[in-house]
A and B are shown apart, each in its own frame.
Chain A
């Protein structure tokens, strides 16, 4: 037996469960995007996964053990707009349904959108697993005057229905009880039938499957419905278990398809929509008309033809005040000048110089390129306050639902670069950390969109750390210097995006997106998310900063730094017009762009205004940091990553040089 350890583990678990009278198992939370699955998951397991008021941000299945039943596990799945699966998220969820050996399903639904929820329920009902429908967001439904006859609906669909408010925990205590009822009931009393023409095919396919496969993870009828609707995961599963015989089933589908006036998948989906409509009509308690909610009004204003822009400017201003002024000036002032500059660094230096007998070790710790004086000081004093405030602001906006509105406002601009407004989330996150944002491009729907946005992130989106340094330097010169830098970066962003959209084959996908209601940000959620992002960030940044510092120290010691500075001279001095020491900053920029910018920062007083602007433009566009290159390789493959780097470095120097030539005449 090859899976011996696995089997033993399973047996142990079963034995343990048998001892306390329960059967262990895996429960899956399934449902539409943005209905609160991840919050429910957190409530049921105590494990925090990314909660976001932006559809489609859970892209992986998470698992954790349940609190309500020993030995049981809960899965949080990516949201499905509909099944059969079409998008990557839907495929991931379908795979979980097929391969996880589930004990029960909990469909989390949006109480205020009963029709949509039920259309999906009708798929789950046919899967043959015990299931419970949790109508979540009951608070929002109530506020809109929407009520549901839970008992009536439960009878009609043959599954327990409960009402919940995941954010407050209300109603979730009824879930274990509801699950028990679900196990006990032997399927729905009267199940939904498709219109005769399709129903016949469904029955045929289901019979055919059950005749050949005695044991299936999901009921043959459910598999048949999904297979006929062309669910690629179910088709793959059937092919794997039936081999060549699967051809017969495909032939059956093709025959039915050619006899039907429309694609079978459409006929099936329409039948479910009609039934959901009927059920909703029967079990939705009459809506009491209510005054328009503040949240609704705000949400509308945020995308208003006229008010949208002033609101956007207001939001930007608030973010700038919080991150740029409070974080980058006030907090950095406290940490860098007061805490590190006046207290920690002198103390550290005194201690090390007094107690470390070897000069070079002391230099390595607290010298010009010291691990403490350069690496840790940059990371903790300069960068940490900026990214912390940025992630806080980002989390608040994300939780409020403003980003979906922003994607509407930004859609036109993004359409110029071959993307749609959906890309706004990764692009704005890039202003915090490009590496993290590169991972987030997964929420985009096509490979083409992911490649374009990854490229633009790597080229022209400065991360907050770098932004802080750049702003700090430029604001020391003049407002117009900042403006020149900003317009040059935007110009490069638009031009290269436009070119990339022309050159990368494929079609632009028009934006069709749901706008969830504006919600008051949940402070706990924002804090958890910020903490998670910060932890990730620090784990990424500190080793790189230390490694970078070490590299600088070694290069300096072995005399390679002067060599690099000399070799880089034609490019750096001749073409960019910078002092030759700036080469060192570009070497540092290889490790992290913000590190490179800080390198130029250190040269600060030696640079003329022209040199500062040119240097900042070049370093902003210069290679993305090592960590983000790693992520690009992982997500897009080595070839694409190499091509991107090959494009980005010359572009940075080219653009920097051109600006040097132009600006020379004016300054």
Chain B
């Protein structure tokens, strides 16, 4: 499943990035604490995908959220 497809309110486990996603962005996510296996709460999908990781809230444009693979936690 893609992060962009997760239901708002759900908790998901991060599985990885599409190889096509800019590596700079991948590094950026890792710096925010989003590593493989990390659980994330999906807060909303519109107008942007908003996720929470620990106590950091991130807004992610859908183009990027579609390149992030997650699984139900």
Contact = CB atoms under 8 A, between A and B. Distances in A.
Nearest to A513: B59
A511 B61 CA distance: 5
B20 interface: no
The dominant DSSP class at the B interface is mixed
B47 A144 contact: no
B58 A512 contact: yes
B60 interface: yes
Interface string A268-290: 01100110110000000000000
A140 B61 CA distance: 27
A515 B58 contact: yes
B5 interface: no
Interface string B35-73: 100000001101110100011111111011000000000
A512 B33 contact: no
Nearest to A84: B27
Given A511-B61, A517-B57, 18 more contacts: A81-B32, A82-B28, A112-B55, A119-B33, A140-B55, A266-B26, A269-B27, A300-B44, A303-B47, A408-B47, A408-B59, A411-B61, A421-B59, A510-B64, A513-B58, A514-B57, A514-B59, A515-B59
B55 A82 contact: no
B44 A304 contact: yes
A82 B63 CA distance: 23
A303 B50 contact: yes
A266 B27 contact: yes
Contacts of A115: 33, 54
B59 A511 contact: yes
Given A408-B47, A412-B47, A113 B27 contact: no
A263 B25 CA distance: 14
Interface in A298-329: 299-300, 303-305, 308
B30 A273 contact: yes
A86 B26 CA distance: 12
A110 B56 CA distance: 10
A116 B55 CA distance: 10
A312 B43 CA distance: 19
Interface string B12-39: 0000000000011111111111010000
A412 B63 CA distance: 12
Contacts of B28: 81-82, 512
B33 A420 contact: no
A144 B23 contact: no
11 contacts: A81-B28, A113-B54, A115-B54, A116-B54, A303-B48, A408-B47, A408-B59, A411-B47, A510-B64, A511-B61, A514-B57
A137 to B, nearest CB: 10
A86 B31 CA distance: 12
A512 B44 contact: no
A532 B46 CA distance: 37
Contact of A116 (B32, B47, B50): B32
B50 A113 contact: no
Contacts of B29: 512
Given A408-B47, A409-B47, A412-B47, A512 B60 contact: yes
Interface residues of B, number: 28
Nearest to A277: B35
Interface in A102-119: 110, 112-116, 119
A488 interface: no
A515 B46 contact: no
B58 A408 contact: no
B44 A270 contact: no
Interface in A492-547: 510-515, 517
Interface in A33-89: 81-82, 86
Contact of A408 (B24, B50, B54, B56): B50
Interface residues of A, number: 45
Ordered nearest first, which 7 A-B pairs have the shortest CB separation?
A82-B31, A510-B61, A112-B55, A273-B35, A305-B46, A515-B57, A81-B31
A407 B30 CA distance: 22
A629 B47 CA distance: 36
A31 to B, nearest CB: 12
A265 B59 contact: no
Contact of A512 (B35, B46, B57, B61): B61
A517 B58 CA distance: 11
Interface string A148-192: 000000000000000000000000000000000000000000000
B61 A420 contact: yes
A409 B44 CA distance: 13
Contacts of A512: 25, 28-29, 58-61, 64
Contacts of A304: 44
Contacts of A270: 30, 35
B35 A514 contact: no
A303 B44 contact: yes
Given A263-B23, A300-B43, A116 B61 contact: no
B55 to A, nearest CB: 4
A517 B55 CA distance: 9
Contacts of A134: none
A116 B33 contact: yes
A276 B38 CA distance: 13
Contacts of A408: 47-48, 50, 59
Contacts of B32: 81, 116, 514
Contacts of A273: 30, 33, 35
A54 to B, nearest CB: 13
Interface string A230-268: 000000000000000000000000000000000101100
Most buried by A among B23, B24, B27, B50: B27
Contacts of A412: 47
A146 interface: yes
A299 B57 contact: yes
A270 B34 CA distance: 10
Nearest to A511: B61
Given A263-B23, A273-B30, A113 B44 contact: no
Contacts of B56: 113, 116, 514
A421 B31 CA distance: 21
Contacts of B61: 411, 420, 510-512
